[in-house]
Amino acid sequence: MRQLPSLLLGADADRGLPIQTQRFRATNWSVYDAALRGRGSLTVGFTEAAIAAWKAEPRTTRGGQPRYSVLAITTALTLRSVFRLALRQTEGLIGSIIALLGLNLAVPDHSTLSRRAETLEVPRARPGTRPIHLLVDSTGLQLCGPGEWLAAKHGSRTRRSWRKLHIGVDADTGCIVASSLTPSDVDDASQVGPLLDQVAGPSASFTADGAYDQDDVYCQVAARHANAAVIVPPRSSGVPSATAETAPAQRDQHLRTITERGRMGWQKASGYNWRALVEAAIAHFKRVIDGGLRSRTDLRRATEVTIAVIALNRMLDLGRPEYVRIA
């Protein structure tokens, strides 16, 4: 990894101290290497329980009878997400898998997959007992639709449309435990509550960047996890509260530490640097899944994101690297 000895940033720049690029080495490379190969494995099998649950249960309310269960639709949409397929190609893939396995199962067509994605309720992870350290950030996902190839071919100057993806990552496992998809003009801090509501177990800390330096963020975290630490860097113009001397809040303590040690010292003392893991998760999402959304409606896009998150977490379950710092 290339070193940048002349780079000066933040508080160290004022003291003339260079910030060296850190270097790490994976200690479980053989295990992680096998996990990476496993992510590309095409081995597909249907358990007896999955075969039995492929057909939808008879509904007891008024309306049409669905032919395929949630399991069947989720399986097809997961293959679509992992292999970046259009709906018709997804129908062909799931049909060929069923035929190769010699199973007598109906194949959901592309119209059914599109329609069911509008109202699909994807099962969430089971609640855990271990307190998690939640890392939160957001990124943009471009909308892919008709006319995109014209822009790529002819260089159209039309402004592209996109949606904002908000995610919460477990710092210990690297898994995405919460996600939401909003229009591009939605404030990041407004999604703290919806993200925290998806965290099934207790939360030990909440870490985010300076965009979340708002009173409402502290209130949302305290309302759901009273003992959770909020690690958000105060803005440069931030001032202590009126009760900073008598009953300092968490933000007041952050401001005091920054005054005493500088921002780099505060980052090290508070554990703020762990926020880099959520940025790595975003890069992982865009590299493995995609940086765009294929669906045409917001409800289908939300389903697309949820299924992609579950697929990424399953890949991490196969194995993830363990690093030690060497420089």
Pairing of strands 176-183, 162-170: antiparallel
Please list the helix, strand and coil fractions of the chain in percent, rounded to the nearest 5, in that order. 45, 15, 40
pTM of the full structure: 0.85
pLDDT at 200: 82
Give the Cα separation of 174 and 169 in Å (integer). Answer: 6
Q: What is the H or E stretch that residue 165 is in? A: strand 162-170
User: Under CATH, what is the fold of the domain 132-303?
Assistant: Nucleotidyltransferase; domain 5 (3.30.420)
CB pairs under 8 A, 24+ apart, for 322-326? 322/26, 322/27, 322/28, 322/32, 323/24, 323/25, 323/26, 323/27, 324/24, 324/25, 324/27, 325/22, 325/23, 325/24, 326/23, 326/24, 326/25
The residues facing 138 across adjacent strands are 166
pLDDT at 25: 87
Residue 208 · residue 179 · CB < 8 Å: no
Task: Give one DSSP letter per residue of 212-236, joined into a string.
Answer: G-SHHHHHHHHHH-TT-EEE-PPPT
What are the sequence ranges of the domains in the chain? 44-117, 132-303
Q: Which two tokens stand for residue 255?
A: 């401001």
Give the Cα separation of 204 and 222 in Å (integer). Answer: 11
pLDDT at 216: 95
**Residue 52 corresponds to which amino acid?**
A
pLDDT at 3: 39
Cα separation values, 278 from 3, 48, 198, 247, Å: 24, 37, 17, 32
Q: Which of 224, 226, 190 is closest to 208 using CA atoms?
A: 190
Residue 184 · residue 166 · CB < 8 Å: no
The secondary structure of 179-191, three-state, reads EEEEECCCCHHHH
Handedness of CA 107, 110, 111, 115 (dihedral sign): positive
Q: Which residues contact 150 (CB under 8 A, 6 or more apart)?
A: 156
Q: Please tell me the number of Cα atoms within 13 Å of 221 on its side-chain side.
A: 24
**Span between the terminal Cα atoms of the chain, in Å:** 10
pLDDT at 204: 95
Per-residue pLDDT in tens (0 to 9) along the chain, 327 residues: 333 343 444 444 455 556 667 788 888 888 888 888 888 888 888 999 999 999 998 877 777 778 999 999 999 999 999 999 999 999 999 999 999 999 999 999 999 999 999 999 988 766 667 899 999 999 999 987 655 556 666 665 555 689 999 999 999 999 999 999 999 999 999 999 999 999 988 999 999 999 999 999 999 999 999 999 999 999 988 899 888 888 999 999 999 999 999 999 999 999 999 999 999 999 999 999 999 999 989 999 999 999 999 999 999 988 888 888 887
Residue 208 · residue 138 · CB < 8 Å: no
The residues facing 176 across adjacent strands are 169
pLDDT at 18: 61
Check residue 109 and report its DSSP letter.
Answer: -
Is 144 in a helix, a strand, or coil?
A: coil
Torsion angle defined by CA atoms of residues 162, 139, 193 and 242, in that order, rounded to the nearest 10 degrees: -120
pLDDT at 80: 95
The length of the chain in residues reads: 327
